Amino acid sequence: MIKTLDYKDVKLSGNIRVPGDKSISHRSVMFGALANGTTTVTGFLKGDDCLSTIDCFRKMGVTIEENGDTIVIHGKGFEGLREPEEILNVGNSGTTTRLLLGILAGLPFHTVIIGDESIAKRPMKRVTDPLRKMGAAIDGREDSQYTPLAVRGGTLSNIHYTLPYASAQLKSALIFAGLHTEGVTTIVEPEKTRDHTEQMIKQFGGTIERSGNEIYVKGSQSFVGQTIDVPGDISSAAFFLVAGAVVKKSKLLLHHVGLNPTRTGIIDVLLNMGADVVVEKESTQGEPLGKVTISEKELTATQIGGALIPRLIDEIPIIALLATQAQGTTVIKDAEELKVKETNRIDAVAGELAKLGANIEPTDDGLLIHGPTKLHGGQVDSRGDHRIGMMLAVAALLTDEVVTIEGVEAIGVSYPQFFSDLESVIL
Ligand SMILES: O=C(O)C1=C[C@@H](OP(=O)(O)O)[C@@H](O)[C@H](O)C1
Ligand SMILES: C=C(OP(=O)(O)O)C(=O)O
């Protein structure tokens, strides 16, 4: 689907509550299904990816009711899941694929996982290798690197495993697998990644420990159904934070936004670039959340790499656009993982933004962005990637010329109401 954006002399003003966090929504279905009793989730993200997770668990016999953005999951414990008669289709969702693999590895039945064209190109051996070491039987193309993947779960043994990538999906898959074992599984992360799985284990009455970058998961735990309020997704809020920071005379307030410190790298980057951003935390029992206000201001370039990367990995496309409006050269490095997302995001960001006049160079592990540049109109493509699609829509706010975006349907993966929220704050 093609969308033509013809924004002229716009400024942004108003309040937005972005939809629920995608990572937390996926996990709420998973823990709700694995717990005993009823789990009620409010603020659930009804994006395509999380709907794929719901669909997979329904196919394994879990009853899940939907009422707007509230869902109710009737969990019956690990033993309540049964062999699906159909193939499990994860759609476009890497999180569903990898976390599901960890859950299925210890269940005594056979499943086949497929997804879309993008999923079929994303590396899965990083997960299937350690799961096979723990005892799962997994088969798939190129030695279980790619979907379709067939899993025959069974008894798993503990592992002490150092992750070769800073990946919360890989970490979470091994945490789920560790829950199926008898003893303690130790996972070492190279950098701290989002910890929603760990937070949710505790919320559901379980335990998990951490010392430095080592995580200890005790097996044979049982969970009890909960009430979960999903905060707004900071990865979705990021598009408005950047729009508010760069579109002249703008001011936006984002409320009920998740502020888990493993996710707030975008706020650090905005502050480092000199943006006018104010964060007000609210006291909550579950995941941290609050309000973020952003006002337009002149920005300077920054350096982004190392431990900051996992804290903003999904925001790099929109941060690259931000950098096109800042004075100087912004360097993004240590971000090779961008090459294995929904599309190769280093190529996609550099290629599509260049079509709109950005001065941007792809590197082996990131991007160099020289600013500030006045963007112009053009024909661009989301390349089937929701985050590239939304970044290009924000870019269209920065030019009075027409921007035509191909493949906008991809945005439904994480933010189905993106354009109506955007239009609600355009003056
Ligand atoms: O665990 C998660 O929910 C996610 C982890 C990240 O992926 P990696 O684990 O591959 O870095 C992120 O890019 C993805 O959007 C969601
Ligand atoms: C990379 C992403 O998601 P996933 O890995 O779940 O497909 C994303 O949402 O940007």
Asked whether the domain spanning 22-229 has the same topology as the one spanning 2-20+231-424, the reply is yes
Residues placed in the known binding site for phosphoenolpyruvate? 22, 94, 122, 169, 345, 387
> What per-residue confidence (pLDDT) applies to 422?
98
Give CATH for domain 2-20+231-424.
3.65.10.10
CA distance linking residue 25 with residue 32, whole number of Å: 10
Instruction: Give the span between the Cα atoms of 387 and 199, in whole angstroms.
Output: 26
Q: Indicate the burial class of 205 (C-beta count within 10 angstroms; 0-12, 13-18, 19 or more).
A: middle
pLDDT, tens only, 342-376: 999 999 999 999 999 999 999 999 999 999 999 99
**Span 22-229: which CATH code?**
3.65.10.10
Positive or negative CA dihedral for 395, 397, 401, 406?
positive
Ligand 1 centre and the CA of 57: distance in Å?
20
Residue 416 exposure: Cα atoms within 13 Å on the Cβ side = 10
What does the pLDDT read at residue 284?
A: 82
20 Cβ contact list (under 8 Å, min separation 6): 43, 44, 45, 69, 230, 231, 232, 233
Residues marked as catalytic: 314
Question: Which atom of ligand 1 sits closest to the CA of residue 167?
Answer: 9
The closest-lying atom of ligand 1 relative to the alpha carbon of residue 197 is 1
Ligand nearest to the CA of 30: 1
Asked if residue 45 lies in contact with residue 196, where contact means CB atoms within 8 angstroms, the answer is no
Whether 167 lines ligand 2, by a CB cut-off of 6 Å, is no
Q: Is 23 in the pocket of ligand 2 (CB under 6 A)?
A: no
Cβ atoms of residues 414 and 236 within 8 Å: yes
Q: Is 26 in the pocket of ligand 2 (CB under 6 A)?
A: no
Q: Which ligand is nearest to the CA of 124?
A: 1
Q: Which pLDDT value is given to residue 283?
A: 82
Angle at 424 between CA 423 and CA 425, to 5 degrees: 90
Q: State the distance from the centre of ligand 2 to the C-alpha of 17, rounded, in angstroms.
A: 21
User: 170 C-alpha to center of ligand 1: Å?
Assistant: 9
- HEC letters along the chain: CEEEECCCCCCEEEEECCCECHHHHHHHHHHHHHCEEEEEEECCCCCHHHHHHHHHHHHCCCEEEEECCEEEEEEECHHHCCCCCCCEECCCCHHHHHHHHHHHCCCCCEEEEECCCCHHHCCCHHHHHHHHHHCCEEEEHHHHCEEEEEEECCCCCCCEEECCCCCHHHHHHHHHHHHCCCCEEEEECCCCCCCHHHHHHHHCCCCCEEECCEEEEECCCCCECCEEECCECHHHHHHHHHHHHHCCCCEEEEEEEECCCCCCHHHHHHHHCCCEEEEEEECCCCCCEEEEEEECCCCECCEECHHHHHHCHHHHHHHHHHHHCCEEEEEECCCHHHHHCCCCHHHHHHHHHHHCCCEEEEECCEEEEEECCCCCCEEEECCCCHHHHHHHHHHHCCCCCCEEEECHHHHHHCCCCHHHHHHHCEC
Q: Is the ipTM of this complex over 0.90?
A: yes
Ligand nearest to the CA of 193: 1
Distance CA(424)–CA(427), nearest Å, equals: 8
Ligand 1 site residues (CB inside 6 A) read: 23, 95, 167-170, 172, 194, 313-314, 337
User: 218: which 2 tokens?
Assistant: 């005790």
* Segments making up each domain of the chain, as ranges: 2-20+231-424, 22-229
Can you give the pLDDT of all 427 residues of the chain as single tens digits?
999 999 999 999 999 999 999 999 999 999 999 999 999 999 999 999 999 999 999 999 999 999 999 999 999 999 999 999 999 999 999 999 999 999 999 999 999 999 999 999 999 999 999 999 999 999 999 999 999 999 999 999 999 999 999 999 999 999 999 999 999 999 999 999 999 999 999 999 999 999 999 999 999 999 999 999 999 999 999 999 999 999 999 999 999 999 999 999 999 999 999 999 999 999 888 999 999 999 999 999 999 999 999 999 999 999 999 999 999 999 999 999 999 999 999 999 999 999 999 999 999 999 999 999 999 999 999 999 999 999 999 999 999 999 999 999 999 999 999 999 999 999 9
Q: Tell me how far the alpha carbon of residue 173 lies from the centroid of ligand 2, in angstroms.
A: 15
How far is C-alpha 168 from the chain's CA centre? 10
Asked whether 93 lines ligand 2 (CB < 6 A), one says yes
- For the chain, the first-to-last Cα distance in angstroms comes to 26
Asked if residues 279 and 353 have their Cβ atoms less than 8 Å apart, the reply is: no
**Annotated binding residues, as ranges?**
22-23, 27, 94, 122, 167, 169, 314, 341, 345, 387
- Distance (Å, rounded) from C-alpha 270 to C-alpha 267? 5
Supply 414's token pair: 């994480």
Q: Are 361 and 328 in contact (CB under 8 A)?
A: no
pLDDT value for 389: 99
- The DSSP bridge partners found for residue 227 are 40
How many angstroms is it from 248 CA to the middle of ligand 2? Answer: 31
